[in-house]
Structure formats: structure tokens, C-alpha cells
Chain A
Amino acid sequence: MKILKLPKGKLDLFASVVQQFGELHAPVEQDGKYVFKRLARWPDARLEYDRTILPPKKYFLPPRETLFRYRPGEGFVPSTDGLDQRIVLFGVHACDVYAINILDQVFLGKYKDPYYQARRRNIAIIGIDCTPDKQCFCRSMRADFVDHGFDLFFYDTGDYYQALVGTALGDDMVLATGNLFEPVGPADIDAYKERSWNKRRAFHLDVEIRDLSEIFEMEYESGIWDQLGRKCLSCGSCSMVCPTCYCYDVSDDVELGSRAGKRTRSWDSCLYFNHALVASGENFRRDRASRIKFRFYHKQRGFVAEYGRPSCVGCGRCVSACPVNIDTAQVIDRLRRVEDVGSR
């Protein structure tokens, strides 16, 4: 991996150059929160943001999209709308890049999703390091640092951004800027290490994920799930804002007066009443408690069995989006405790 540095004062120049690689999108402010959006002008970018309401997932797996149009006797035509649009996502945090790498495992693994694949190919990612706040636990989830999945990744080291070059495209971006980037020297290395050390100490939250899967296995009957089930509103917010929730629903919108139509997919959530409802009328997770339990088990246990790590990256979004304060880090913490009110 190539490591270079960019003088901070040259960032806007860099931003203007990378526009040749795609439409520039970055976090901008929206009533005190942040959202990834197409930049109208560079000064609108807020690179010191905490977290965006929706994760960059929305670019790769949009909340609603048309998959194809069909007509009996003629077959179907896949939708290509927007799939070839080139975008540069500027300012993606490590946990969110990590989450995209997790989505890659799901959508580009055994069964490749062509829509996701096309977008992943055409959307460049420039990451940026961040400072944890009270809801971040990405370090606990081993997602506070990423070594792949981005084209460039910037670390603020004072007067410079130190840049990891992740891909050939990232390298092209560097080259396109002429000589804006400089080689790093010993002082820069020290500055990076200091930043890394400070970040480590800045976390407020610390949850232990070693043997967590096993503890989940043991606590399957814990009373905590009923407690959460009584509180949860099944509003689905936690899934919508989660960078790694990838459940989707597929439905057909038929045209008036024919059997032709279009097939749409939209974000789904295991918290919804009908998520495990099948054609016979049987609902495998009729109780809300079993649904919220499922969300935790899928992220922290099922995914570990399948892919070797929890799918949660500790971004803290579900915590800020839950109207009734159901807090993932707290739930894990309670499950681990020896005597807990909820346990048995």
C-alpha cells in the first residue's frame, strides 16, 4: 500500500480534481444532522461530521429500486437506471467502509447481485478518519480501521492529510493532481502514530465481542428479549439506518389491465410483523420479542457463524435512531454481565 500526504490547504484543489472521476458527494449538514448528498459547492462538505442519518449503503442498495420490467410472452428487461453513474463519495468513515466490505461479502459472494456490483464498480470511495463520540463502538467491533474497500483514505495529522492509496483508481486520482501529494517522512509517521494512539483512547464505549456468539447461544432464553420486545415499536428505524442491514423485500407492481409490470425491491426489516410471515399464514416470528431477538442474533451470532465476524460495525446509528433508546452496546453489555435483571 502506498502512503502519501496532502497539505491541508490543498484539499479544495484536490476536490476539484477528483470531480473528473465522478459526481462529488459528501456529508452536508441538515438541521444539525448530516446526510451524504451531491455537493452543490465544495464548502458545503462537512468532513468533521459525526455520522450521517443514512449510511453510504443508500448508494449501493437504494431504499427502493426497480429491478426489471416484465411482460408475459416477452420476458423481462432488467433496469439499468443510474447503474453506470460515476460518483465519488468523499468522507466515508472507517466503520462505514468496513460495512460496505461486509455488504460485499453478501452481495458479491456466492450469488452476485448485478445491481450492487455495477454500483460498487462505479462509485469511488475516499475515506476519512474520525473522532469517536459517545455512541461509537467501532473499535470494539474491530471496525475502527479498514485496510481495503476504499480508493483513498485520509488521516488528519495536523497540517496534512496522510493518505492511504487503496486501489489503482485511488492512484489515478493522486496522479491526476500532478504533484499535490508528497512523500511521507519520519515526522509524518510519528504524527500518524500519535493520532492512532489518541483515537484509541478517545472511545467512551467498550464492549467485548470475544466469545460473544457463545454467550448469545447460552442466553437464548434470557428474559432480556421479552423486556426489549415490550419496548420495541417495530418501527424499523434501526434497520433502515444500519450500514449492514441488507434485508430487502421484492414486490410486483402490475400495470392496470394487464399482467405486465415491474418488480421493485425495497429495504425490509426483521422487526416488521410480516417479515417471517409465509403463504400458509404461519408467522415464525409473531411476537415482537422474537423479532428483536432475531435482529441481535443475526448480527452478533448468525453472521459470525457464516462469515466469521459480527455484521455490526459499531457505528452507533441504531442507538441514535431508536425512539425508545434500545441500545446495542448496552444490550451486549447486559448479556455479558454475571447478574443481570433481564437474565433468566
Chain B
Amino acid sequence: MSKPKVGIFGLTGCAGDQLAILNCEDRLLDLVALIDIRDFPMASSDGNQECALDIAMVEGAVVTMRDARRLRAIRQRSATLVALGTCAVWGGVAAMDRDLDRAKLLEEVYGELGKEYDSCPARALHEIVKVDHNITGCPIEKEHFLAAVASLLNGDPPLYPAYPVCTECRMRENNCLLIERGELCCGPITVAGCDARCPQLRIPCVGCRGPVTDANPASALALFEEKGFDRERIWARLRTFAPVGVAS
């Protein structure tokens, strides 16, 4: 059987997820023995930009028309499309205030020149094309990437937690920052997978992995208000990694 052809791409993002892949150092050789990486612009500039792909992995949000065109082209040449990282899955930081007047923002920042720029409100990949699998995280956990490749090679969909950070936080028997210290911890509504990295270090979760399946933001909002945080601060925290109204 020939090796599956894979492409790894970045739209608008920090490249952290692609870096996480390159950071799989000791596994990279195993990886290239199993998959044929045809197009990975960040790692090599002479990829094949036309061929059909079995799997495309795409990092970053869509914030320009050029991003959107690239994404559509990638989708067209790929059998399976995987969104890589919180920006691709949820819109991420770039999408935080996407409801603000774009033209005005461009003018404020770039003055007259702003009008010329190719810029649109940030969107997650699934808002533009069909996405088959999501690997969330800011950045992704490299173990999740490797596990996803292992599953996809076997024809299985990769599986991720449908429970929030609190679960892993409790499993590690941490003191609860929200209950015991009254801190604004987004653990109850953020999807797990990071092994509660931040609360483990006594830093409240800022929700970088995006919302958990079936999150209950209304109750979380009421809870945070009850703890004395004002609405503005709560909203600022909640929309940092996933804008209002984005559904996965």
C-alpha cells in the first residue's frame, strides 16, 4: 500500500501548532516512514502544491480573503481535513472581537492605507469548509497529533475528551482555584486534554483549548458574577479563545 499523502498548512496564526509537530523530534522519522508529506510550507519550500492529498492539516484562522481561497483549495484537493489548534477549530484569539466594525478598525490602525488591506472578520475553518476532525489546543499537544495520525492511518476517527478541564484537575487532586480562592477559572467550560496544565501550577485556566462539548456558559456566567467578577471582565475572558456564536 502506498503511503498516505499529507499536507500541513498554516493560515493566519502563530505557527505554534506546526511547530508542535516539528517538535515531535524523536518521532519525526517514524512519522515520515509512514506518511508522505507532500506539502508543508513551513518545513520546506519545495512541496508539491497541486497534488491530491489524503490528509490535510490546517492551522490558523481565516482572516483574509486569501486565507479563505487557500483553505477552499486545500479542501478541494484533500480527502480528509483536520483543523489544527484553537484558531482553526474555534477562531481563537484573532476572532475575539470579530463583531466590531472592520473598516473602522483598519482605519484606526493603518489610517488611509487600511482600505487597501485584505482583511475580514476572523473565522474558524468549519465556518468556511467542511472539517472532518478537530485537534484543539493553543498550541496542540504533540501527543494528540501523533495519536490522531495513528488513528487516521488505521481508518479510525481520533477521539478527544468531551469533558472539561475540571475533570483532569480533580484527577490530579488540585486545590480548586475557583471554589477555594475565588479566582476566575474557566476550567468548568473548557475542554480537557491538557491535563489541567495551568491549575496544576496554580494559575487559573483561561480557556485556551476552547469550549467543551455541551458547555453551560449561562450557568458559568452566573457563577462568576456571584463570585464578584464584573460582566465585562468575564466576557473578555470567555471570548479570548472562542468568539460568541461559533459552534464546532
A joins B in a complex: yes
| Contact surface of A with B, Cβ cutoff 8 Å | 30-33, 35, 53-54, 58, 63-64, 230-237, 240-241, 251, 253-257, 259, 266-267, 269, 272-274, 288, 320-321, 323-324
B166 and A32 form a contact (CB under 8 A): no
B180 and A31 form a contact (CB under 8 A): yes
* Cα–Cα distance between A324 and B176 once the two chains are bound (Å): 13
Nearest chain B CB to A229 CB, angstrom units: 9
Please indicate the chain A residues that have their CB under 8 angstroms from the CB of B188 in the complex.
233, 235, 323
Given A233-B188, A233-B216, residue A257 in contact with residue B163 (CB < 8 A): no
A236 and B164 form a contact (CB under 8 A): yes
Return the contact of B214 from the options A234, A241, A253 (Cβ within 8 A): A234
B180 and A236 form a contact (CB under 8 A): no
Nearest chain A CB to B231 CB, angstrom units: 18
* Cα–Cα distance between A232 and B159 once the two chains are bound (Å): 25
* Cα–Cα distance between A241 and B162 once the two chains are bound (Å): 19
* Cα–Cα distance between A288 and B164 once the two chains are bound (Å): 14
B171 CB-CB contact with A under 8 Å: yes
Given A31-B175, A233-B188, residue A257 in contact with residue B34 (CB < 8 A): yes
Nearest chain B residue, comparing its CB with the CB of A291: B214
Q: List 9 A-B pairs, Cβ < 8 Å.
A: A31-B175, A31-B180, A53-B170, A232-B216, A237-B167, A254-B154, A257-B30, A257-B150, A323-B188
* Cα–Cα distance between A224 and B106 once the two chains are bound (Å): 51
Please indicate the chain A residues that have their CB under 8 angstroms from the CB of B215 in the complex.
233-234
Please indicate the chain B residues that have their CB under 8 angstroms from the CB of A232 in the complex.
216, 219
Given A30-B175, A256-B34, A259-B154, residue A235 in contact with residue B146 (CB < 8 A): no
B167 and A53 form a contact (CB under 8 A): no
Known: A235-B188, A323-B188. 16 other contacts (CB 8 A): A53-B174, A58-B173, A63-B171, A64-B171, A230-B216, A232-B219, A233-B188, A234-B214, A236-B163, A236-B164, A237-B167, A240-B167, A254-B150, A256-B153, A321-B176, A321-B179
A256 and B216 form a contact (CB under 8 A): no
A256 and B30 form a contact (CB under 8 A): yes
Nearest chain B CB to A33 CB, angstrom units: 5
Nearest chain B residue, comparing its CB with the CB of A271: B163
B175 and A240 form a contact (CB under 8 A): no
Please indicate the chain B residues that have their CB under 8 angstroms from the CB of A234 in the complex.
163-164, 212, 214-216
Chain A-chain B contacts (Cβ-Cβ < 8 Å), number: 107
Nearest chain B residue, comparing its CB with the CB of A283: B214
B 194-228 to A, binary, CB cutoff 8 A, 1 in contact else 0: 00000000000000000011111011100100000
* Cα–Cα distance between A102 and B18 once the two chains are bound (Å): 48
A35 and B173 form a contact (CB under 8 A): yes
Please indicate the chain A residues that have their CB under 8 angstroms from the CB of B100 in the complex.
none
Q: Which 7 pairs from chain A and chain B are nearest by CB?
A: A240-B170, A63-B171, A273-B214, A235-B166, A233-B188, A235-B188, A274-B162
* Cα–Cα distance between A323 and B34 once the two chains are bound (Å): 45
Given A235-B164, A236-B163, A257-B34, residue A241 in contact with residue B216 (CB < 8 A): no
B189 CB-CB contact with A under 8 Å: yes
Please indicate the chain A residues that have their CB under 8 angstroms from the CB of B10 in the complex.
none
Given A235-B164, A259-B154, A320-B179, residue A240 in contact with residue B171 (CB < 8 A): yes
Within B151-170, which residues are at the interface with A (CB < 8 Å)?
A: 151, 153-154, 156, 159, 162-164, 166-167, 170
* Cα–Cα distance between A341 and B139 once the two chains are bound (Å): 46
B20 CB-CB contact with A under 8 Å: no
Nearest chain A CB to B183 CB, angstrom units: 12
Nearest chain B CB to A2 CB, angstrom units: 35
Nearest chain B CB to A290 CB, angstrom units: 12
Return the contact of B223 from the options A230, A272, A323 (Cβ within 8 A): A323
* Cα–Cα distance between A31 and B177 once the two chains are bound (Å): 11
Given A253-B147, A256-B34, A274-B213, residue A236 in contact with residue B170 (CB < 8 A): yes
* Cα–Cα distance between A35 and B173 once the two chains are bound (Å): 8
Please indicate the chain B residues that have their CB under 8 angstroms from the CB of A35 in the complex.
173
Please indicate the chain A residues that have their CB under 8 angstroms from the CB of B34 in the complex.
256-257
B33 CB-CB contact with A under 8 Å: yes
A272 and B163 form a contact (CB under 8 A): yes
Please indicate the chain B residues that have their CB under 8 angstroms from the CB of A254 in the complex.
147, 150-151, 154, 156
Return the contact of B179 from the options A63, A256, A257, A323 (Cβ within 8 A): A323
A236 and B166 form a contact (CB under 8 A): yes
User: Counting chain B CB atoms within 10 Å of each CB, which of A33, A35, A58, A233 scores highest?
Assistant: A233
A233 and B164 form a contact (CB under 8 A): yes
User: Counting chain A CB atoms within 10 Å of each CB, which of B34, B214, B215 scores highest?
Assistant: B214
A256 and B149 form a contact (CB under 8 A): yes
B187 CB-CB contact with A under 8 Å: yes
Nearest chain B residue, comparing its CB with the CB of A229: B216
